[in-house]
Structure 1
Amino acid sequence: RGMPWFEGDVEPEQVPEKYRLGRAYIPKTRYLDPEFLKLEQDKLFPKTWQIACRSEELPDVGSFVEYAVGDYSILVVRESKTSIRAYHNSCRHRGTRLARGRGRVGSLICPFHGWRWNLDGSIRLVLDREEFVPRSDDDLGLATVLAEQWGGFVFINMD
């Protein structure tokens, strides 16, 4: 009957036959089926904890790693010696990707308009602010993603 302690568990008869688990294995089709991948991208990846990187990949303040899964891009950033944060890798104005791969920055800069964010996600600079619809600085901060460390790994959760 599944795991009764797992919130959102479904009854076995609700699972399409081709996705049901065998006695002791996961069917190969789960790894190859584009329809199942879409289900994972829509229902699983945005709602579960995932390993984004190792802590040592972020050795210095300003170090970042881009974590991509499906259509999502998450920026994992060492904000301070003791703090790692994560953000949707997207400018709050045009949705432009802020960074790719890995590297080290003093602030996050949108390549489209040059808006800048501090490593804590707060807005630092809006060039030509008067030319945009007025919005509070709180409203312009980067969209955060949960980030936690355990056992040398950095986990993120978008939910």
Structure 2
Amino acid sequence: MSSIQPVNELVEAASRPFEDARAMPPSVYTRSDFLDREIETIFSKEWICVGRSNGLANPGDYLTYELAGQPIVVLRDKEGQLRAFSNVCLHRMSTLLEGAGNTRAIVCPYHAWTYGLDGRLRGAPFMTQTTGFCKEDYALPSIRCEEWLGWIYVTLDNERESVATALRPLESMIAQYEMENYVECFRETHVWDTNWKVLAENFMESYHLPVCHAATVGGHSKLDEMECPPGLAAFNYHWITKEASLAIGNAHPSNTRLEGRWRKTTALLAIYPSHLVTLTPGYFWYLSLHPKGTGRVAMVFGGGLSPEFMADPRAEEYVATLKTLLDEVNVEDRGCTEKVFKGLSADTAKAGHLSYLERPIYDFMQYIAERTSGLDRSFALAAE
């Protein structure tokens, strides 16, 4: 199969009007050369979410991330600023920090070269007799890092417009929630055996909820209550307004910010390429995805509560309830999405028509086609 065949198949699918839309063809999920194109045109260019800023609350708090093959560390410096650096030592190129935690300095595990929280080299054992060595010449390369409504984003592209500019339309749409004040209570990393787009699409649509999540949230998911408007350039979204099964799913009695239907409305947000957020009046949870191969996806998974529920005497109980539920939901989603990838790899796999409840998947397809093939998606954005 030609390396351009997945691109051509994707463009053909993305060129259909929504009324006759089909899912993306199997080749864009299973072909390694198409994944290479995604890394080059999407993940090495776009803003990628790595977590919530309150998760790095104190000087020295850090987390690590691998973005398009580049090891990165994001930390809170001594002045309280969020910063991101290359997580590679400037001596013999070992990676530096691992996982997440708190540190007073960045110490290389190979030869103990030590960098401050500002990225500058502070110490290098047994280097004073080396001709030409000057400690002041060494500083870890900076990586662009921005905070938006409490989220931390990084990008390798120094020319990319700011997160706030790209997401200004979304910010105005969800302003009443004041998402910036929600508190992350847990953050984990996982790897699932599916394609990153399969998992992203699974989050974007609620069509699967009554079946895939029959044992958890499915019974509370009324498809006729879903609103799936056309997406915008940098994101897609849909709304669910209902009486939540959990107390934290609706607004806390002390919440005076949300009025009327907004006290019972959940926003499901897909911020391109791979930041997926469920935002309710009382809690939030999210995924941030990065491919590890055509059939493996690294996932940052986290969640927490609105400030009113964090201030409630039962906050600890609410967090435990939320985490238990989401762990069960993730087990269900993992099973469903891994089955989809297995099916995509079959010789008989063929994309079928999309439901009107899968409008976000159509918009996501337009985005992927634009980034990987240069498709002009203005017809889809302007069609509604």
Q: TM-score range by the shorter chain?
A: 0.7 to 0.9
Aligned in 2, Cα 1:133/1:53: closer, same or farther, shift over 3 Å?
Answer: farther
- d(CA) in 2 for partners of 1:53, 1:133: 43
Match of 1:57 among 55, 58, 65: 55
Q: Displacement, 1:57? A: 1.6
1:10 equivalent in structure 2:
none
The residue identity in structure 1 corresponding to 2:106 is: L
Match of 1:27 among 24, 29, 34: 24
TM-score (norm 2): 0.35
Aligned in 2, Cα 1:146/1:133: closer, same or farther, shift over 3 Å?
Answer: farther
Q: Displacement, 1:156? A: 0.7
The residue identity in structure 1 corresponding to 2:108 is: C
Q: Is the 8 A contact 1:117 1:125 kept in 2?
A: yes
- d(CA) in 1 for partners of 2:58, 2:42: 32
2:69 equivalent in structure 1:
71
In structure 2, the residue corresponding to 1:130 is in which secondary structure? Answer: coil
**Percentage of pairs with the same residue:** 27
- d(CA) in 1 for partners of 2:91, 2:153: 27
In structure 1, the residue corresponding to 2:36 is in which secondary structure? Answer: helix
Instruction: Structure 1: state its 5+ residue gaps.
Output: 1-14
Aligned in 2, Cα 1:33/1:83: closer, same or farther, shift over 3 Å?
Answer: same
Q: Displacement, 1:133? A: 5.5
Q: Displacement, 1:68? A: 1.7
1:12 equivalent in structure 2:
none
2:149 equivalent in structure 1:
151
TM-score (norm 1): 0.80
In structure 1, the residue corresponding to 2:80 is in which secondary structure? Answer: coil
Match of 1:82 among 59, 80, 83: 80
* Rg (Cα) greater in structure: 2
Q: Which has the higher helix share?
A: 2
1:48 equivalent in structure 2:
46
* Deviates most, 107-116 or 26-35: 26-35
1:16 equivalent in structure 2:
7
- d(CA) in 1 for partners of 2:130, 2:44: 31
Q: What per-residue deviation string (whole Å, max 9, x for no partner) do you get for residues 77-126 of structure 1?
A: 11135301001110011110101110110000001110100001111111
Q: Is the 8 A contact 2:10 2:25 kept in 1?
A: no
1:123 equivalent in structure 2:
121
Residue pairs, 1:88-103, within 5 angstroms: 88-103=86-101
Aligned in 2, Cα 1:93/1:154: closer, same or farther, shift over 3 Å?
Answer: same
The residue identity in structure 2 corresponding to 1:18 is: E
Q: Is the 8 A contact 1:77 1:84 kept in 2?
A: yes
The residue identity in structure 2 corresponding to 1:16 is: V
2:308 equivalent in structure 1:
none
Aligned in 2, Cα 1:103/1:45: closer, same or farther, shift over 3 Å?
Answer: same
Instruction: Structure 2: state its 5+ residue gaps.
Output: 1-5, 158-384
- d(CA) in 1 for partners of 2:30, 2:130: 46
1:107 equivalent in structure 2:
105
The residue identity in structure 1 corresponding to 2:10 is: Y
In structure 1, the residue corresponding to 2:38 is in which secondary structure? Answer: helix
Q: Is the 8 A contact 2:127 2:133 kept in 1?
A: no
Q: CA RMSD in A?
A: 2.1
Aligned in 2, Cα 1:134/1:53: closer, same or farther, shift over 3 Å?
Answer: farther
- d(CA) in 2 for partners of 1:139, 1:19: 48
